[in-house]
Amino acid sequence: MSKKVAVILSGCGVYDGAEIHESVITLLRLDQRGAQVQCFAPNVAQMHVINHLTGEEMAESRNVLIETARIARGNVEDVRELHVEHFDALILPGGFGVAKNLSDFALQGADCTVQADVLAAAQAFAKAGKPIGLICIAPALAVQIFGAGVTCTLGSAEDPAAEALQAMGGTHKACTVEDIVEDSAHKLVSTPAYMLAQSIAEAASGINKLVDRVLELANPH
């Protein structure tokens, strides 16, 4: 029986939403492995909108759920409708949207909070003992999801995000771009992706390994 995986995205575009390469690689690998996938996103306004050509902020407002629909080809649901009993695993790709729209990590660092609907959904998977995959900057949310003592990676130990993770009570483990870090006690798998990747192929090397491991840890319905 195929495994059912929920994927939470944070908009569309690396600087203000979900990292598109990471999101597509994740969805592709899940499909290649025969998983059934449903994308979710919070129905909230983005923190801000970035012109991805110039890197400058734009004077407009966009909705995270609507922007996520660009990547999901319209097949996305409000994360409030994510019910853990319908899925075997959860994966969060990265992008600044994780730190801006799914949380305020970009502004608050170690003092960050996670968007309430996203946190409730992720904690439900953790409580149910179902595997979670966190990609790129998404492991910055791990302590809020699992509590102090959780182990994950943001790539380099010298990265300020890794230092913030440890300040929150997490354990950071350095990891190369093509590898994963697994916290067996929490069924958490993480990989650096574009925290370290210099190409889409490098990003895919770790993401594919993460997806494969999350599916191995998942118990199918």
Characterize the bridge pairing of strands 89-92 and 76-78: unpaired
CA–CA separation, 74 and 92 (whole Å)? 18
Name which of 176, 171, 167 is nearest 150 in CA terms.
171
CA–CA separation, 189 and 217 (whole Å)? 10
Residues counted in the chain:
221
What is the amino acid identity at position 124?
A: A
What is the amino acid identity at position 158?
A: E
Decide if 152 is catalytic. Answer: no
What is the amino acid identity at position 138?
A: A
The active-site residue out of 112, 136, 152, 175 is 136
DSSP 8-state code for residue 32: H
Active site residue ranges: 136
